[in-house]
Amino acid sequence: MTYKTQMEAAKKGIITKEMSVVAKKEFMEAEKLRDLVACGKIAIPANINHRSLSPEGIGEGLKTKINVNLGISGDCADYTKEMEKVDMAVKFGVEAIMDLSNYGKTNTFRKQLIERSPAMIGTVPMYDAIGYLEKDLMEIKAKDFFKVVEAHAKEGVDFMTIHAGINKRAVECFKRSKRLTNIVSRGGSLLFAWMEMTGNENPFYEYYDEFLEILREYDVTISLGDALRPGSIHDSSDAGQLSELIELGDLTKRAWEKDVQVMVEGPGHMAINEIAANMTIQKRLCHGAPFYVLGPLVTDIAPGYDHITSAIGGAIAAASGADFLCYVTPAEHLRLPDLEDVKEGIVASRIAAHAADIAKGIPHAREIDNKMSDARRRIDWEEMFSYAIDGEKARRYFESAPPADKHSCSMCGKMCAMRTTNKILAGEAVEFCSEK
């Protein structure tokens, strides 16, 4: 029995090799996973041309996944540095990398990325349109966008962010809402500008079914971009955001009808008290499709620390139903992140995702925490370092101020609570003044 996409296979009752791999990783029965792929509640982004991919599932009942953004810009066009960020992401076990390059001919970097990365690869074709087509925005015709999407699909991109929901209806709603920060999505702003300058409908919306045919051919998952995501807590949950979300719900069903897998992108800035409700609304309006959030950032006043504001929001979002977190680095709103920024962003997102998985009761999520706690009780430093998200940093901190007694740390020394309790339970006396 033949099939084009993971969803088509699942609908036909087939368990693909990618489904088998994901089921094993997630401690889920393959038949259950297949059924969730068939109804769209789980996506397995796996382009037929991405040979080095280690498949991952995103969606209901699975571990929360993390995405890392990187890529070449006009001000920072160092391919070597960007590839170092790729290696950093792979080292920390992130499941997805988005190449957001927007300068020059980006396909060389993207092809190298796809060739070497076991993580799934995503792109935003709208970013690449101007460089790929060598046309200014006003000169690009609706059908030109097909060339970019098809080029990315052929190269092996596993998922693409397509801002198909910002149609003329959504734009009118956005204009009426009188936002504080307007449109902060780069791809969304470019499409908005193109629509306003040409007077035409969004080509990704107008020709949506034709774009789906390209994605189906290579089994590219569509990540329905939120062009009108809030860029400040002032704008969150407004009419513009929700009007686009309604459009995305309809586009989700249309993609599923063509056996194209779907993820739906969510808000960027949002007050803590709104997050859980937004997750519920998204899942309802978009029929349970996997939800992919940027943060959300829970305050707007922490430039330099937005990996923390993002991790707070991401943990709450994922615990409330989001399936996929896009990392945010300390450089957000300030500059292109360097290697250390990327590391800080990854670690913060890993913490948020893992905390959410514990809250959601994901199978075996607590096991490593229990192992860490047992190693702490026994004061086994090497074992603790092995379980840490960033064991190198943990070791560096410990060794920077080593204790006189290896069965403690330099904060508590011989008054370590673990040490004291272990001694008493072992039938030993606790003495300080007489100890040498």
Residues 93-134 have pLDDT tens digits of 999 999 988 766 678 889 999 999 999 999 999 988 887 888
| Helices assigned H by DSSP within 258-298 | 272-285
Q: Where are the beta strands (DSSP E) in 117-233?
A: 120-123, 159-162, 221-224
pLDDT the model gives residue 316: 98
Instruction: Report the C-alpha gap between 290 and 157 in whole angstroms.
Output: 18
In the chain, the percentage of residues whose pLDDT exceeds 90 is 87
The residues, any chain, with a CB within 8 Å of residue 130's CB and separated by 6 or more, are 102, 136, 137, 140
**Residues tagged in the binding site annotation for substrate:** 69, 98, 127, 163, 185-187, 226-229, 265, 292
| pLDDT level of residue 71 (50, 70, 90 thresholds) | confident
Residue ranges for the known binding site are 69, 98, 127, 163, 185-187, 226-229, 265, 269, 292, 333, 409, 412, 416
Q: For residue 73, what are the contacts with CB-CB under 8 A and spacing of at least 6? A: 101, 102, 103, 336
The answer as to whether 25 is a domain residue is no
318-366 pLDDT tens trace: 999 999 999 999 999 999 999 999 999 999 999 999 999 999 999 999 9
329/408 same-domain check: no
- Same domain for 258 and 405? no
Q: In the chain, count of helices (H) and strands (E)? A: 19, 10
Q: Check whether residue 162 and residue 249 sit in a common domain.
A: yes
User: Which among 1, 8, 20 has a CA at the least distance from the CA of 219?
Assistant: 8
Name the residue among 383, 301, 299, 310 with its Cα closest to residue 350.
310
Q: Domain check: are 312 and 208 in the same one?
A: yes
DSSP assignment letter at 220: P
3-class SS of residue 39:
coil
Judge if 165 and 216 occupy the same domain.
Answer: yes
In this structure, are 415 and 316 located in the same domain?
Answer: no
Note the pTM of the prediction, 2 decimals. Answer: 0.94
CA distance 169 to 246: 11
Residue 425 lies in a domain: yes
Domain range spanning residue 414?
401-436
Q: Are 206 and 278 contained in the same domain?
A: yes
Residue 250 and residue 144 share a domain? yes
Binding annotation for Zn(2+): 269, 333
288 and 427 housed in the same domain: no
Asked if the model's pLDDT at residue 16 lies above 90, the reply is: yes
Residue 385 CA to residue 372 CA, distance in Å, equals 9
Give CA–CA dist 97/177, Å, rounded.
33
Query: What are the pLDDT digits (tens) for 248-264?
Result: 999 999 999 999 999 99
244 and 208 in contact (C-beta within 8 Å)?
A: no
Kindly indicate the confidence band of residue 80, based on its pLDDT and cuts at 50, 70 and 90. confident
Does residue 245 sit within a domain? yes
State mean pLDDT over 59-70: 97
Q: Is the pLDDT of residue 434 over 90?
A: no
Whether the pLDDT of residue 436 is over 60: the answer is no
In the chain, the number of structural domains is 2
CB atoms within 10 A of CB 137: 14
Q: Which residues participate in the annotated binding site for [4Fe-4S] cluster?
A: 409, 412, 416
> Using one digit for the tens of pLDDT, what is the confidence trace for 206-243?
999 999 999 999 999 999 999 999 999 999 999 999 99
CATH number at residue 226: 3.20.20.540
